[in-house]
Amino acid sequence: MDDLDVDAMLGRFRERAAAVRSRNMPPVAGEERQRFIEQAQFDFQDFAMVGDATATLEDGILTLRVDLRPEDQR
C-alpha cells in the first residue's frame, strides 16, 4: 500500500471523466445509439464522482468520501 498514489488515482478518474465527455459518437443508430449515450452518461457520472472524492488511506483501508449535496449546501 505504500506505493499507492491516491492523488494520482483520483486524477486518472478525472481524466477518464473528461475523456468520456469528449468521446466521439460511433456510427450507430436507433436503440444502439441510445444505449451508447446512456452508457456514456453512466461512465461520466461514475468517473466524475470518484475523481471528485476526498481520499484517505489509513491502516491499509482506502476511504473515498463523495459529497453529493448541492454546492450551496456544502
* Mean pLDDT, the chain cut into blocks of 10 residues (74 residues total): 86 96 90 94 96 93 94 90
Q: What is the pLDDT of residue 39?
A: 95
The answer to whether position 1 is within a domain reads no
Q: What is the pLDDT of residue 3?
A: 83
Structural domains in the chain (count): 1
Q: What is the pLDDT of residue 2?
A: 66
The answer to whether position 34 is within a domain reads yes
Q: What is the pLDDT of residue 26?
A: 85
Range of the domain at 46: 6-73
Give the residue ranges of DSSP H helices in the chain. 6-21, 30-51
The answer to whether position 26 is within a domain reads yes
Please give the Cα distance from 35 to 71 (Å, whole number): 30
Name the burial class of residue 66, with classes exposed (0-12), middle (13-18) and buried (19+) by CB atoms within 10 angstroms of its CB. Answer: exposed
